[in-house]
Amino acid sequence: MEKSYIVKQISIFSENRPGRLAAIAGALRDAGINIFAFSIAEANGFGVVRALVDRPEDAHRTLTDLGFRVSFTDVIGVKMRDEPGGLSDIAAVLGDAEINIEYAYAYSGKDGAVLILRVDQVEDAVRQILGRGGELLKASLSR
């Protein structure tokens, strides 16, 4: 049951220089792949682009064929009230359950706000959030 809420995020290694995001986004555009959400994490000289897309398997193959270093990462998307306290509610659930957030990013789209999380115990996080009345994105959103 928890598995159906575990979303496959694609992560792409990128050098930290002009044009690299354009190359990644351009490749996804050419393959007709839609990006729901993404973030960039940067270190000295390199970064990792993380994205939720509608067809993760196709995105992985497309980018790998172009020579990018790509991996899948299990994340969850938690629907968030788009008002004061929305983030606090979710963070408190995970904090109370001793689940650590490794990284997070959020988007506020047409169907409301979503918080995307990579946590150390993903199935436990799903149970905790659902058990406390939270709502999660379905993995089937992406095929």
Partner 1 sequence: MAPWNPRMEEITPEELRRLQFKLAKSLVYRLYSFNDFYRRRMKEQQVHPDDIRTLEDVAKLPFMYKADLRDGYPDRIFSAEQNELVRYHVSSGTTGKPTVVGYTERDIENWSESLARGFSSCGLGRGDVIQVSYGYGLFTGGLGAHYGAERVGATVLPTSVGNTERQVELMQDLHVTAIACTPSYLLHMGEVAEKMGVSIKNDTDLRIGFLGAEPWSEQMRTRIEDWLGIRAYDIYGTSELSGPMFTECTEQQGIHVWGDLALVEIVDPATGEVLQPGEQGELTITMLQKEALPMVRYRIGDLTALDESACACGRTHPRIGRIQGRVDDMLIIRGINVFPSQVEHALLEIPEVGRHFQIVVDRKGALDAMLVRVEVSEEAFSDKITDLMLIRKMVEHRLRGSLNVSVDVELVEPGSLPRFEGKSKKVVDRRSL
Write out the residues near partner 1 by the rule CB under 8 A: 9, 11, 13-15, 20, 41-43, 45-48, 50, 67-71, 73, 102-103, 118
Q: Which is nearer to partner 1, 40 or 130 (CB)?
A: 40
**Backbone torsions φ then ψ of 12, nearest 5 degrees:** -125, 130
Measured in whole angstroms, how far is the alpha carbon of residue 35 from the centre of its chain?
Answer: 10
Provide the pairing of β-strand 112-119 with 70-80. Answer: antiparallel
Q: Which is nearer to partner 1, 73 or 123 (CB)?
A: 73
By CB atoms closer than 10 A (0-12, 13-18, 19+), residue 98 is exposed
Give me the least distance between CB of 92 and partner 1, in Å please.
24
Cβ-based neighbours of 61, under 8 Å, separated by 6 or more: none
Q: Which is nearer to partner 1, 4 or 71 (CB)?
A: 71
Give me the least distance between CB of 31 and partner 1, in Å please.
19
Give me the least distance between CB of 89 and partner 1, in Å please.
26
